[in-house]
Structure 1
Amino acid sequence: MKNIIANIRQTYPVSDEALQALLTEMEERIYPKDTCIVQSGITDHLVYFIEEGVTRSVFHHDGVDTTTWFSKEGDITFGMDSLYYNQRSIESIETLTDCRIYVIHIDKLNTLYEKYIDIANWGRILHQNVNKELSHLFVERLQLTPKERYDSFLLRYPGLINRVKLKYVAAFLGISIYTLSRIRAQK
């Protein structure tokens, strides 16, 4: 669990006792590439800690898939509406590679939030950081050129461009695959 632990510790200085309590509640799962781990329209009660692999969050609408987020080693992922509001997820989460993921039921995580202030603070900081990132992505989509968005993607997700399909990156950036190919050809 070295990637998960490193990311937790990088986000907030969780005590050894609290970290051990969190890790003890997790269950390891192996998901092959192209597995839907969270399905839109379903309330999912798990939080997914990625030790190995890459996932994408995707919104399906009228036959068009829009990638809204990538998660990689050390990250957590979840159905946002399910986690925060106990409602059906509006997005799906799919594995883009074979993944080794540790899961925890949201009820168990909430119990740990109540028992360990440092886990609650870790969760708060984590969600603040994600909210900030989402806000930046939204502004970038409105203000940056496609090339600038691509450059930002390369900085935000080092090495990911070589691990995922370009059509997912294009959808994430809000550009066509043809525009992305032109930008990459210019580099």
Structure 2
Amino acid sequence: MNSSSMKNIISKIKQVYPVSDEALQELQANMEVRYYPKGTYLVQSGMTDRLVYFIEEGVTRSVFHHNGQDTTTWFSQEGDITFGMDSLYYQRPSIESIETLTDCTIYVIYIDKLNALYEKYIDIANWGRILHQDVNKDLSHIFVERLQLSPKERYDRFNQRHPGLINRVKLKYVAAFLGISIYTLSRVRAQK
């Protein structure tokens, strides 16, 4: 497999941890590239999904469906990974869905294969550990920010964390993610 085809993924992996070329080659050898059109559900809530999705091109959102309402809980874009956490770690149906917001090029790997690579390569295991630490930190910060920061400050933090993403996704998804109304978000954006 040609490694230049995974340049966004490899670049992001190496930002997190200096994974060896040998380990990256083996990771790639265990992956399959898939193309998903905009509006596809990679993971459906209520279903168990055993894949980890590495995004080479495109944007996805994690979404929680409750009482007819959709709440966007996370965004992933080039170089990020996404998955149904309950499915992956606990073999239980996912509580969230993951939807493509653009056409996406995604490399997928089965969790069993990824777990085998964690066992074989300490650098892949360290990459996974640090990646999860970073996501955990972001989740806890976002939770606290929703309680403490003004809508304007939350919007500014969003743009720092995800430069340019605001122009690639529907504003209603960003508003839900920030825990504010679409009207508040429009007002905050107009203050620029």
Give the TM-score, by structure 2 length: 0.96
**Structure 2, unpaired ranges of 5+:** 1-5
CA distance in 1, matches of 2:90, 2:17: 24
| Distance (whole Å) between structure 2 residues aligned to residue 163 and residue 129 of structure 1 | 23
Q: Distance in 2 between matches of 1:112 and 1:156?
A: 29
What SS does structure 2 have at the residue aligned with 1:28? strand
Hey, what does 1:83 align to over in structure 2? 88
Return the TM-score normalized by structure 1.
0.99
Q: Distance in 2 between matches of 1:154 and 1:114?
A: 36
- The answer to whether structure 1 residue 144 and structure 2 residue 144 are counterparts is no
1:91-130 → structure 2 map (5 Å cutoff): 91-130=96-135
* Candidates 4, 13, 17, aligned match of 2:18: 13
* Residue 173 of structure 1 pairs with residue 178 of structure 2: yes
Rounded Cα–Cα distance in structure 1 between residues aligned with 2:134 and 2:159: 19
Percent identical pairs in the alignment equals 82
Q: Give the structure 1 partner of residue 3 of structure 2.
A: none
Match of 1:71 in 2: 76
Alpha-carbon distance between aligned partners in 2 of 1:181 and 1:145, rounded to the nearest angstrom: 14
Match of 2:161? Answer: 156
Q: Give the 4+ runs in structure 1 shifted more than 2 A.
A: none
Where does structure 1 lack aligned partners over 5 or more consecutive residues? Answer: none
- Give the superposed CA RMSD: 0.6
Residue correspondence of structure 1 range 32-71 to structure 2 within 5 A: 32-71=37-76
- Give the whole-Å Cα distance in 2 for the aligned partners of 1:56 and 1:75: 11
CA shift, 1:16, in A, is 1.1
Separation in 1 of the partners of 2:23 and 2:94? 29
Distance 2:33 2:24 in 1: 16
